[in-house]
Amino acid sequence: MNGEDQLIRKIARAVPSQIGRGAHDGGLALGIGDDAAILASRPGDAWVVSCDSFIEGVHFLANVHPADSVGYKSLVRAVSDLAAMGAAPRFFFLALALPAGRTGRWLDEFLRGMRRAARSLDMRLAGGDTTTGRVVSISLTVVGLFARRAGRNAAHPVTRSGARPGDRIYVTGRLGRAQLGLELLRRGRLKDRRFAPLLQQHLYPRIRVALACWLARNRVPSAMIDLSDGLSSDLSRLCRASNVGARLWADRIPSVSLPSAVSKLPRLRKLNPLQMALHGGDDYELLFTVPARKEKRLRAAPQFSEFTCIGEITHGRRILLIGSNGRATPLEPAGWDPFRK
């Protein structure tokens, strides 16, 4: 590919974008093509902004992970932080560093995956930056809109810091599915059709944007976070922000199921579903706390059948895992941490 300008035009054509001026009521007044984008919103609304990095050799392996998965997942995982606060995704900014050898077919596939994610999330690319580098480096800034309700009970974005003793702890979905997909990928099972459904949450994660927005609009959670680094680590963050502790019931944690075909594979026979549920990353499910008085309201939520109450918030700062025998053991954060040796 000849030149950065050509690369930028290729990205703008491939991914849903806005070039130049647009309608103010859509939130993006000026898009790609100038020195900076301009956002506009109605009085009382709140923009919610987050940044995320996706780096070759740290978060993915370019010779193992399909390029379209890298494009798709890089955007979805960034937007998961917006969903965790109940914000509807609107725009994103992409800073992309590419080795020269990745500007052809690999980039085409990467953009195909990012386009798929942007369309499914109804997002537009508003700007960014491109450069060259030794490895693929993807930095995303995602912008969501929280439309406040007027009146006495105005809704607000949900933070990590509102949990109180006595609140119930809920999660969505089954945990550890992405970790299982990663284990299969590490063992060369990408093209084995038997395991294709088991790879989906790792390669093409599903996030619950509509559900998170419903929870926020209806003021159900006292605190919420997305499960990006594993239940043990992300619950620890929520508790630390709220100055509380927690008790989890091990037998209530919805863990991934291991099909017999997986159990027969060498080196996968000893996988522990509960440990993957506790410490496996990349699930991008929701973890939230609910005051007891609001549990009835929670039953009206879409996808309520996929919720599980796994514990309760307590005084103090300890997080305890209660086994089926009633024995309590401390649960230390042992999920994904790029700085852990």
Q: What is the CA radius of gyration of the chain?
A: 21
The whole-number pLDDT of residue 105 equals: 95
d(CA 266, CA 25): 56
d(CA 312, CA 290): 9
C-alpha closest to that of 235 among 341, 339, 307, 332: 332
Residue whose structure tokens are 């997002």: 123
DSSP secondary structure code for residue 257 in this structure = P
The whole-number pLDDT of residue 31 equals: 74
The whole-number pLDDT of residue 20 equals: 66
Instruction: Give the C-alpha distances (Å, rounded to integers) separating 192 from 187, 199, 262.
Output: 11, 10, 12
The whole-number pLDDT of residue 2 equals: 60
d(CA 175, CA 196): 18
The whole-number pLDDT of residue 289 equals: 98
Terminal-residue alpha carbon distance, the chain:
39
d(CA 94, CA 141): 7
Instruction: Give the C-alpha distances (Å, rounded to integers) separating 29 from 22, 36, 119, 145.
Output: 5, 11, 20, 14
Domains, the chain, in order of start with CATH, read 4-146 (3.30.1330.10), 168-330 (3.90.650.10)
Report yes or no: 335 and 277 within 8 Å, Cβ to Cβ.
Answer: no
The DSSP element (H or E) to which 59 belongs, if any, is none
- The amino acid at 63: N
Q: What is the pTM of this model?
A: 0.90
d(CA 161, CA 158): 9
- The amino acid at 130: T
The whole-number pLDDT of residue 152 equals: 47
Q: pLDDT per position in the chain (341 positions), as tens?
A: 567 678 878 888 888 887 766 654 567 777 777 667 777 777 777 888 999 999 999 999 988 999 999 999 999 999 999 999 999 999 999 999 999 999 999 999 999 999 999 999 999 999 999 999 999 999 999 999 887 655 445 567 899 999 999 999 999 999 999 999 999 998 888 888 889 999 999 999 999 999 999 999 999 999 999 999 999 999 999 999 999 999 999 999 999 998 888 888 877 878 999 999 999 999 999 999 999 999 999 999 999 999 999 999 999 899 999 999 999 999 999 998 887 75
Crossing angle, helix 67-83 and helix 105-121, to 10 degrees? 30
C-alpha closest to that of 11 among 130, 117, 122: 130
C-alpha closest to that of 231 among 291, 316, 321: 321
Report yes or no: 250 and 238 within 8 Å, Cβ to Cβ.
Answer: no
Report yes or no: 284 and 80 within 8 Å, Cβ to Cβ.
Answer: yes
